[in-house]
């Protein structure tokens, strides 16, 4: 439905934006049946291009087999959930009025925010465009969508699906780089949905402030793991090691800094190294399809720099640590004895590197976590419910998975999002519908 266009001038961008400004009221007034039909049409378009999506994910990030299909399935899950429940989500909610208005009727109405600007990331370049887009559509908004240029093959197929499915007055896709992003941020949109780094998130929030647009910022952080003495160390190590190497470590939810009791550290490290060997090596050679690849040369050099700096400052490379520039591969790595001034401790690694720290008392680990910006996720391995309560009371994070990693994000009945440095706003399921809606108070007297 939309013609392909490689570049957009500021005037062309404004023209598309104005189309949506004019059309937003018609989209806002659509009923559940109309929005459901749109979502079904989107799912059919994704299904029609499924092989192209998988091929693109392999080309950009070497996501093979189930790793590529996961992104597609996550989109299907969100669409199916919205289709099943949207009528209930859209229904006004009756509110009991107070004594000062005994004869009045109060209600909450979920209405569209208007025109939404959606920026996709490069690490999950397909599902982290279409999952937010499902919420945008379900809530009755228009959207300007910018896929990430660092995953160019996925960007192209994403744009193809959107152009074939939507009129630009409802959902428009614009491909380009930083210049395009900056031009889009000048638009007085109603809401911005951004997934990426905290540094760029601050730029997005600053741009939104110029127009008092609301924002959803899905950022990241250095997700800590606490392993309590009561935990099954081998089980914890296997789950952490597998999660750390997901998408070659390029996941905002990956576990990163591990806190384990001093006397159990060697057992943990040995079990993690064995998991790496089992999952990601064949006959002693790294299985590149199992690992994926770093998105580009600049990010590969960034991870290399962290490892070189940590070694130079006295950190111990327990396993891994080797880099293949041609394949853009980083061997799954465990670092121990990492000094506090190492660069790897101040930035999100976005590579398959675990840093292991030891404690004598659990509160030492908690104090270390308290001293850092609030992460997107915290992972706790324990066999004691009182330890869960203690850690939850004394830490803060976007979400928590107990005795595993990342899974709280996959339970779409739970809200997903960060806090402070790791972001703001929530989505998935009904939480995404509400995030992309304005909760309007109505009183009948």
CATH code of the domain in which 238 resides:
3.40.309.10
Note whether 207 and 265 are same-domain residues: no
The answer as to whether 191 is a domain residue is yes
- Looking only at the bridges linking them, the beta strands covering 329-330 and 323-324 are antiparallel
**Per-residue model confidence (pLDDT) at position 5:** 44
Note whether 148 and 284 are same-domain residues: no
Note whether 15 and 155 are same-domain residues: yes
Domain range spanning residue 138? 10-219+418-444
Distance from C-alpha of 70 to C-alpha of 434, rounded to nearest angstrom:
25
**Per-residue model confidence (pLDDT) at position 3:** 44
Residue 320 — φ and ψ, nearest 5°?
Answer: 75, -145
**Per-residue model confidence (pLDDT) at position 161:** 98
Distance of CA 227 to the CA centre of its chain: 24
The answer as to whether 237 is a domain residue is yes
Note whether 100 and 163 are same-domain residues: yes
Note whether 203 and 296 are same-domain residues: no
Tell me the C-alpha to C-alpha distance, in Å, between residue 429 and each of 77, 132, 398, 407, 412: 9, 10, 17, 15, 6
Note whether 402 and 439 are same-domain residues: no
Q: What is the DSSP code string of 317-369?
A: EEE---EETTTTEE--EEEES--TT-GGGTS---SSEEEEEEESSHHHHHHHH
Of 84, 83, 56, residue with least CA distance to 69: 56
Note whether 438 and 395 are same-domain residues: no
The answer as to whether 1 is a domain residue is no
Choose the catalytic residue: 175, 218, 348, 435: 218
**Per-residue model confidence (pLDDT) at position 244:** 96
Residues 6 or more apart whose CB falls under 8 angstroms from that of 44 comprise none
The answer as to whether 432 is a domain residue is yes
**Per-residue model confidence (pLDDT) at position 2:** 55
- Return averaged pLDDT per consecutive 10 residues of the chain, 445 residues in all: 64 97 98 98 98 97 90 97 98 96 96 98 97 98 98 98 98 96 97 96 98 96 96 98 95 97 97 95 91 95 97 96 94 96 94 97 97 97 98 98 97 95 96 98 97
Of 268, 269, 271, 292, residue with least CA distance to 280: 292
**Tokens 């703001």 — which residue?**
424
The neighbour count for residue 138, using CB atoms within 10 Å, is 30
**Per-residue model confidence (pLDDT) at position 221:** 83
Q: What is the pLDDT of residues 88-116, one digit of tens each?
A: 999 999 999 999 999 999 999 999 999 99
Note whether 47 and 101 are same-domain residues: yes
The answer as to whether 3 is a domain residue is no
Choose the catalytic residue: 127, 142, 252, 405: 252
The answer as to whether 125 is a domain residue is yes
End-to-end CA distance of the chain: 46
Of 409, 398, 399, 379, residue with least CA distance to 74: 409
Note whether 330 and 428 are same-domain residues: no
Q: Has this prediction a pTM greater than 0.85? A: yes
Q: Is 355 a catalytic residue?
A: no
The neighbour count for residue 287, using CB atoms within 10 Å, is 13
Note whether 299 and 362 are same-domain residues: yes
Q: What secondary structure letter does DSSP report for 437?
A: E
Note whether 212 and 246 are same-domain residues: no
Q: What secondary structure letter does DSSP report for 436?
A: T
Note whether 232 and 197 are same-domain residues: no
Q: Is 263 a catalytic residue?
A: no
The overall average pLDDT reported for the chain is: 96
The total number of structural domains in the chain stands at 2
Q: Which two tokens stand for residue 23?
A: 């059309």
Q: What is the pLDDT of residues 184-195, one digit of tens each?
A: 999 999 999 999
The answer as to whether 233 is a domain residue is yes
Label residue 218 exposed, middle or buried (CB < 10 Å: 0-12, 13-18, 19+). buried
Domain containing residue 55: CATH number: 3.40.605.10
The answer as to whether 4 is a domain residue is no
């Amino acid at each position: 439905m939309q013609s392909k266009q490689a570049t957009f001038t500021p005037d062309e961008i404004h023209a598309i934006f104005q189309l949506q400004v004019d059309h937003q009221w018609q989209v806002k007034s659509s009923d559940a049946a109309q929005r459901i039909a749109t979502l079904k049409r989107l799912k059919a378009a994704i299904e029609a291009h499924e092989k192209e999506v998988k091929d693109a994910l392999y080309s950009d990030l070497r996501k093979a087999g189930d790793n590529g299909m996961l992104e597609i399935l996550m989109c299907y899950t969100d669409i199916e959930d919205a289709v099943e429940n949207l009528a209930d989500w859209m229904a006004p909610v009756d509110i009991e009025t107070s004594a000062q208005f005994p004869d009045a009727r109060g209600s909450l109405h979920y209405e569209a925010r208007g025109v939404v600007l959606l920026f996709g990331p490069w690490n999950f370049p397909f599902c982290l465009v279409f999952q937010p887009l499902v919420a945008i559509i379900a809530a009755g908004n228009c959207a300007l969508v910018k896929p990430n240029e660092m995953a160019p093959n996925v960007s192209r197929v994403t744009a193809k699906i959107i152009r074939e499915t939507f009129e630009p007055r409802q959902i428009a896709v614009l491909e380009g780089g930083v210049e395009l992003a900056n031009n889009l941020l000048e638009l007085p949109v109603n809401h911005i949905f951004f997934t990426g780094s905290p540094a760029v998130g601050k730029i997005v929030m600053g741009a939104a402030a110029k127009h008092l647009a609301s924002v959803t910022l899905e950022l990241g952080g250095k997700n800590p793991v606490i392993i309590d003495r009561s935990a099954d160390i081998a089980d914890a190590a296997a789950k952490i090691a597998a999660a750390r190497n997901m998408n070659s470590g390029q996941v905002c939810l990956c576990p990163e800094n591990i806190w384990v009791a001093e006397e159990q550290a060697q057992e943990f490290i040995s079990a993690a190294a064995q998991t790496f060997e089992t999952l990601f090596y064949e006959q002693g050679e790294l299985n590149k399809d199992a690992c994926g690849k770093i998105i580009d040369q600049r990010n590969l050099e960034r991870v290399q720099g962290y490892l070189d700096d940590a070694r130079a400052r006295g950190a111990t490379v327990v396993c891994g640590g080797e880099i293949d520039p041609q394949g853009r591969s980083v061997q799954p790595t465990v670092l121990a004895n990492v000094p506090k001034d190492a660069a790897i401790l101040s930035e999100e690694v976005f590579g398959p590197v675990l840093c292991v720290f030891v404690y004598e008392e659990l509160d030492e680990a908690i104090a270390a976590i308290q001293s850092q910006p609030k992460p997107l996720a915290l992972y706790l391995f324990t066999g004691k419910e009182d330890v869960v309560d203690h850690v939850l009371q004394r830490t803060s994070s976007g979400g928590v998975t107990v005795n595993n990693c990342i899974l709280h994000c996959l339970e779409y009945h739970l809200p997903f999002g960060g806090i402070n440095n790791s972001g703001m706003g929530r989505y998935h399921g009904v939480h995404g519908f509400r995030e992309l809606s304005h909760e309007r108070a109505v009183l009948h007297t």
